[in-house]
Amino acid sequence: MDYVAVIAVEVLNAIATLVLVSIGLAVIFGMMRVINLAHGEFIMLGGYAATMAVKWGIDIWLSMLVVAPLAVGLAGAVLERLVIRHLYGRMLDAMLATWGLSLLLVGLTTAFFGTTTQGVQSPLGATSIGSYSVSLYAAFVITMAAVVCLLLYVLLRHTHFGLRARSVMQNASMAAALGMHPKRTYAVTFALGAALAGLAGGILAPITGVVPTIGVAYVAKAFITVIGGGTSILAGTVAASTVFGTVNQLVSFVATPVIGEVALLAVAMVLIRLLPQGITGRFFRGRI
Amino acid sequence: MRVTRRKILQTAAGTAALSAIGGPTFAQPGAGEIVIGSLHDLSGGLDVVGKPMEEALQLAVEEINATGGLLGRKVRVVTLDTQTNVQLCAQYAQQLALKDKASVVFGGITSASREVIRPVMRRFNTLYFYNTQYEGGVCDRNIFCTGQTPAQNVDKLVPYVTRRWGKKIYVIAADYNYGHITADWIKKYAKTSGAEVVAADFFPLDVNQFGPTIQKIQAAKPDLVISVLVGGAHMAFYRQWAAAGMSSRIPLASTTFSVGSEHIVLSPAESDGIVTAFNYFESIDTPVNQAFVSRWHKRYGSGYPYICEMAVATYQGVNLWAQGIRKAGSLDRMKTIEALEDGVSFDGPSGKVSIDPATHHCTLDIQIAECKDRKWQIRETFKQQKPVETAAVCDLRKNPGENKQFVVKV
């Protein structure tokens, strides 16, 4: 019985990690149809921002939850202005540009910080479920994923900015004709997506450590989740994360983590074959 | 295009100019210098291991040159950075052998890179020193291995941890040749100690999520866990293990912990209590080691985090080679090999290191140590351990033409 509870916690942890890692990409891809291949590097930068902030003496919670998203959001805003702005509507060119961006960010980080893995100690302790010891950090990750989804929902549904963002997403020319600024909305949305990626990096830094090449592992999973999720930003990401995270963890428990990854990819292939528009192309249509 | 006299003159001038530019890039060895090659990963994921090895090599060469060099000639090092990329190992090994005409090459870190470099060195008749601990079994007259092998470290570690903690062992290892072969050795030495390996899990080098593994380990209820994890991503295991509160519940031993300075990067809470068996620890209390550490700190700064085993193995390797050259009195490869097979030893920072003529591996001291507060406290010492597992399958005196790596069968 304890073992089942422990498995459940690990499954929720995996789902929450997927949600955190993918939500930034979902915002950028869902709103602007920009394939941001530098998403993994944004996560990496968030991890480095949190780690460096802790090294400079800032409290770890502030580093993870405030410094990391702010720093990466700012970087995202600057990069949007310089690079992405010229590529809306040009999907393949955006892919190439953001791929180059990701290489640039990896190179810059390596030049500044070297390739040794760094990190901070996990701030929470552990607790017991029966005779098993479970990290409390898993509970923190799950809580943060839920909070992020809730805040994003409130932002998109109940604020003016959310209304503007959704209308620009649906029909940019009509929104422009009605007096909104699509370009400005895009800029803020890109910064928001980057900030969310930075937040994910900051939250994951204590359990994985940071190294310049860590983004590569995340970008693949994030893309699979976003594409599998479909057009709805929140509902799609949560639904796809649930499916993939559950399969990944359960198979990892039965076999090894490698087979768990294989199972995740196999399920993704089947899903895309059966539902080419993603999960929210068929279920939960019209939700945010 | 019509061939005119003007075209011919222009082409000739251009070619001459280009070859003049290309000229100076070919290194001209100084008169009578001995060239040695250094082939380590100075960037990429393994730079944390490769850079100290390179620094140890430079220190050893500087000390040799300070006493007049070898055979009256100065030693010059050609360093090539293989960037944690195995393809570059083959390319640069060939370059060192053919273009720089190195008398000897020191390098290769992972077993994968060694098995790429070794045939190249053999093909081009260049002596090769491999200074990293590995899984044993290489039988090749052109290579000298100064790193410890499982009969030296695993064979001492497993009985110690079994005696101290219990008989049920859970093994987690990196998923490549070193990890698999070392896991087999652990199983073998566990059997001879009356212990049992209840499970062995393998992880590719980029896996950094170990949540389910930690729960599986708890479900199996072992007495201890032996970790053969390698690299930066695997360091996350120690973080997650401590975060799950397991450090006080199930003890950890490792054959690879501290190779990447993990005990410096991680916090004491995450690294205390881990037991390892190595040839060298910075805290070895002998006059030779203390002098070495102070020379190292003078050269590389007193704030140097930790002098790791592979750096000292490289330092000892260079000195063993130098002794071979002095004994042979010549740079000729065969003469050097025969001199090295004729009883060469060196009093290094880790103790006495001697080359075993039958296997071209080293007889050396092994210490078992436990990590406390980012320092290693030595618990037991085993003097002059022979590379028995390789000696059981390899005798280069009987079969000098042997050229393979034997793999243990458990």
Which of A13, A126, A256 minimises the CB distance to B211?
A13
Separation in Å, CA B118 to CA A259, B144, B269, B284, B333: 33, 10, 41, 32, 15
- The pLDDT value given to residue B22: 53
> Would the pLDDT of B267 be above 80?
yes
Which of the listed residues B278, B309, B325 is the one where a domain comes to its end?
A: B278
Within a domain: residue A248?
no
Q: What angle do CA A188, A192, A194 make, to 5 degrees?
A: 115
The count of other CB atoms within 10 Å of the CB of residue B396 is 18
Given phi > 0 = left and psi -120 to 50 = alpha, else beta, which region is B378? beta
Residues B239 and B140 in one domain: no
* A131 contacts chain B (CB < 8 A): yes
Band of residue B129 on the pLDDT scale cut at 50, 70, 90: very high
Within a domain: residue B13?
no
Q: A151 is in which domain, residue-wise? A: 2-230
Q: What angle do CA B307, B313, B317 make, to 5 degrees?
A: 135
* B246 contacts chain A (CB < 8 A): yes
Pairwise CA distance, residues B245 & A184, whole Å: 48
- The pLDDT value given to residue A283: 83
Q: What angle do CA A165, A169, A175 make, to 5 degrees?
A: 75
Residue of chain B nearest A14, judged by CA positions: B211
Question: Which helix (H) or strand (E) segment is B53 a member of?
Answer: helix B47-66
* B258 contacts chain A (CB < 8 A): no
Give the total number of structural domains in chain B: 2
Which of A3, A115, A126 minimises the CB distance to B245?
A126
Whether residue A214 and residue B265 make contact (CB cut-off 8 A), yes or no, is: no
Give the residue with greater pLDDT, B266 vs A194. Answer: A194
Interface confidence, given as ipTM, is 0.75
Digit-coded pLDDT (tens) for A126-180: 777 777 878 888 889 999 999 999 999 999 999 999 999 989 888 889 999 998 8
Pairwise CA distance, residues A261 & A14, whole Å: 12
Q: B184 is in which domain, residue-wise? A: 154-278
Residues B45 and B142 in one domain: yes
Question: Which helix (H) or strand (E) segment is B343 a member of?
Answer: none
Give the total number of structural domains in chain A: 1
Whether residue A14 and residue B265 make contact (CB cut-off 8 A), yes or no, is: no
Within a domain: residue A200?
yes
- Please name every residue paired with B385 in a beta bridge, in sequence order, or none if there are none: B364
CA distance A263 to chain B (A): 15
- Angle, helix A182-208 to helix A2-32, in steps of 10 degrees: 150
Place of tokens 């990067």: B265
Find the CATH number of the domain harbouring B359.
3.40.50.2300
B 99-158 residues with CB below 8 A of A?
Answer: none
Residue A176 burial (C-beta neighbours within 10 Å; 0-12, 13-18, 19+) = middle
Helices (H), A114-232: 136-158, 160-170, 172-177, 182-208, 215-229
Within a domain: residue B346?
yes
Residues B46 and B71 in one domain: yes
Residues B139 and B288 in one domain: yes
Which of the listed residues B278, B296, B324 is the one where a domain comes to its end?
A: B278
Name the token pair of B253.
């031993």
Digit-coded pLDDT (tens) for B287-327: 999 999 999 999 999 888 888 899 999 999 999 999 999 99
